[in-house]
Amino acid sequence: MNPVPLFLIIVTLPLISERYLSAQQSENAIAICKNITIKNNETEINIKELETRGEGPDLKNPILVKKQSGIPFSGRVFELYKNGQRRASGSLKNGKHQDSWLFWYDDGSKKCEATFNNGNRNGLWVCWHKNNQKKYIGNYKDGKMDGSWVYWYENGQKRFQGIFKDGKERGGHVRWHENGQKKAEANFKDGKLVGGSAKYWNSKGEPVDSKGKPIDTLEEALK
């Protein structure tokens, strides 16, 4: 077997190295592209490039920080489902959710349009069921429900309507069955039921006995 000339080895090695480095650089570029996007001339990074930190052992007031430096992140971020569909997109300021955010279901349909301030839900929230029927619309103030709120069933029928102040029920609240028949109504003051104001109906529209039965909370009513 004839030995390979030394000059061929010397010439070939740099070419192999260049190809290897080029391949590595391409892989790195692809990885970066998956985690960074440009939208409206503004850079967005994948939220998985950040980590969550908080105050105290129970992670109260969590913030998102850069992994290497630990500095709270400010800028645009996005989150993906395992299937590659976008799950969320919005802004962080000093590591906390800020201003407008969009959320989607794993099939790409819109889930919510939301607003935040300093990490708290703040302002108008509108959400949809997976079938694109509106799910609820309402306002938050400093993380608490505030103002008029309306919920709907997946079939488009209204489910709940009521007013809140600082997260507490206020005034008249009404709930409906999925077939459109009224289910319950009551009046609240500072989050407490006004005695004797609760009334109930079955799905046929017939009054039902509610003696000794307090009206349930919004959370329980919407399960």
Q: How many domains does the chain have?
A: 2
103 lies in the same domain as 16? no
Task: Give the bridge partners for 46, in sequence order.
Answer: 78
pLDDT at 77: 97
17 lies in the same domain as 75? no
| Domain range enclosing 1 | 1-37
42 lies in the same domain as 29? no
33 lies in the same domain as 44? no
pLDDT at 58: 53
14, amino acid identity: P
The rounded percent of the chain whose pLDDT value lies above 70 is: 71
91 lies in the same domain as 7? no
160 lies in the same domain as 61? yes
99 lies in the same domain as 9? no
pLDDT at 211: 54
61 lies in the same domain as 12? no
104 lies in the same domain as 124? yes
- In angstroms, the CA 182 to CA 99 distance is 37
114 lies in the same domain as 152? yes
pLDDT at 62: 81
Q: Is 69 helix (H, G, I), strand (E, B) or coil?
A: coil
pLDDT at 22: 46
Query: Angle CA(24)–CA(30)–CA(33) in degrees, nearest 5?
Result: 140
The pTM score is: 0.77
Task: Give the bridge partners for 192, in sequence order.
Answer: 189
Residues in the chain with pLDDT values less than 50: 1, 4-33, 56, 212, 223
22 lies in the same domain as 53? no
Quick one: residue 26, left, alpha or beta (phi over 0 = left, psi -120 to 50 = alpha)? alpha
User: pLDDT tens digits, residue range 204-220?
Assistant: 888 886 654 555 555 55
Sign of CA dihedral 82, 101, 118, 162: negative
99 lies in the same domain as 28? no
